[in-house]
Structure 1
């Protein structure tokens, strides 16, 4: 069997998709004899009968159906490769690496999704999720082009755009605590299990993140699991306001915030390395995230 050409393969695929030689010729802007000859040539080189020509409309033989399934996937991959090459030729990034932190609210994720759907459909979004110090570490280590997370403004290597604020509220399930609300504080909460988010940073920084010294702790990989543990009365902890609004309103959770146990408002920002050059897609995303109309 000698090799077949891409032209012959595309002609065969068009005949199958369009249901006949004339329709395939029209779709490919070729003549009917040229398409017919291409398919016959492909069959000859493969040593297979791919099309059943005995009926009013051509159909696939058993071998033809199996071959076309593989050919369709191969042609799809080739189309992606051609689009990838065209994008490289324009200077646009084929991949953009974005890390989303555990405090990123849903509207920011929607804005990110809309950008890639409307403004960068040819660029593949490599999206990952990290917690606590993980997003910033990935950015500083060169493993991300952009992060959406709380970021310290004192970090001189970064460019920042504050996008929103998220309140972290200390909460518990009703009935978990026997301490009167007026007496809530680090000392009175020490006997109760505190739920914390596991830090995905490989080199965690020495930050307390509301930890009560001496208290028993349980950990969760994200705020959704942490919320469930707290709802089930297994622990108390701080959760972002956008995740628990309905729980507080409906009484499934109660706020523990008070003078001796304040919550905290965190600014969530888009952050990137300032000294690094950024491609056209990254620049458009930077502007898009700052524009409320991109939500």
Structure 2
């Protein structure tokens, strides 16, 4: 016999009432049913839980120990039931989002803020990492939803298009190529590249496009964040390709410049991703709707 939540609830009610009869009345079951439940529990735990003193039953030392744990289990289950009820109404709960660097840093803050205002009872956690890392977390159940760049999505996941993105060649304003209206790929031969590491969607899209042109970049530095790449390029340490969304502020400030590269297709999709095995509960649906609303406002998710 396994110990069930029913056993713990009956036991806790007997301890509260100090009587098998009154516990049975409170639980709307027969007194023999209460007695059997307690006996089964004592047999499973191999220890007496109550002793009769006068007309009341009192907890033994083993009973007091069990009550402390049983009370926590019962309370935790009640909290879980309330949380799930709120989750299905999209009023309460916890939403954990995994995102790769570009969408997590530059696209999601606006929609996340709008979602939190509409659902203040929902705790939102955003975890940012490389695309492969985020997808691994999603498959493992460590995050509920993911927003990542283009990737090979396993069959266990459902990926839906969110927005289109384009990688741009970024240069320091002082770089000699910055004076040209456009750049040929041959002009990049021998240039030092500062790139995101393997495993990031940005790196994979770039390498796929360059491989199609038989071009191998001279990588002098790999940096784990887009912000670090921008700082390195701005300091003249090399050139790079980054999302158009990631460099908007630097372009406006004149800290970086972008140039088109002739014949190089660097478009990619950004996707929302969820586990195929889980239903799309209302909480998730409301978050995805907030993302779509952000996309339709001037075609800028922020």
Give the TM-score normalised by structure 2. Answer: 0.57
Distance, in Å, in 1 between the alignment partners of 2:187 and 2:152 is 33
Q: Quick check: 1:218 aligned with 2:227?
A: no
Equivalent of residue 279 in structure 2, options 277, 280, 291: 277
Q: Quick check: 1:244 aligned with 2:247?
A: yes
Distance, in Å, in 2 between the alignment partners of 1:156 and 1:270 is 15
Distance, in Å, in 1 between the alignment partners of 2:290 and 2:143 is 18
- 1:290 deviation in Å? 2.7
- 1:108 deviation in Å? 3.0
Deviations 1:31-80 (A, max 9, x none): xxxxxxxxxxxxxxxxxxxxxxxxxxxxxxxxxxxxxxxxxxxxxxxxxx
- 1:272 deviation in Å? 0.8
Deviations 1:104-152 (A, max 9, x none): 1645321122213322x33322221012433223223332211112234
Distance, in Å, in 2 between the alignment partners of 1:205 and 1:107 is 20
1:191-230 to 2 correspondence within 5 Å? 191-199=190-198, 208=207, 213=216, 215-230=218-233
1:91-240 to 2 correspondence within 5 Å? 92=87, 94-104=93-103, 106-119=106-119, 121-152=120-151, 155-177=154-176, 181=180, 184-199=183-198, 208=207, 213=216, 215-240=218-243
- 1:187 deviation in Å? 4.8
Distance, in Å, in 1 between the alignment partners of 2:94 and 2:178 is 52
Distance, in Å, in 2 between the alignment partners of 1:183 and 1:86 is 60
Give the TM-score normalised by structure 1. Answer: 0.58
SS at match of 2:164: strand
Deviations 1:156-187 (A, max 9, x none): 43333322222210111134346985995555
Structure 1: where are the runs of 5+ without partners? 1-80
Distance, in Å, in 1 between the alignment partners of 2:146 and 2:123 is 16
Q: Which residue of structure 2 aligns with residue 90 of structure 1?
A: 85
More off after superposition, 232-241 vs 93-102: 93-102
SS at match of 1:291: helix
More off after superposition, 155-164 vs 83-92: 83-92
Distance, in Å, in 2 between the alignment partners of 1:156 and 1:215 is 35
SS at match of 2:102: coil
User: Any conservation in 1 of the 2:160–2:271 contact (CA below 8 Å)?
Assistant: yes
- 1:289 deviation in Å? 2.6
Q: Which residue of structure 2 aligns with residue 38 of structure 1?
A: none
Change (3 A) 1:117 1:180: closer
1:253-268 to 2 correspondence within 5 Å? 253-260=256-263, 262=264, 264-268=266-270
SS at match of 1:208: helix
User: Any conservation in 2 of the 1:153–1:160 contact (CA below 8 Å)?
Assistant: no
SS at match of 2:218: coil
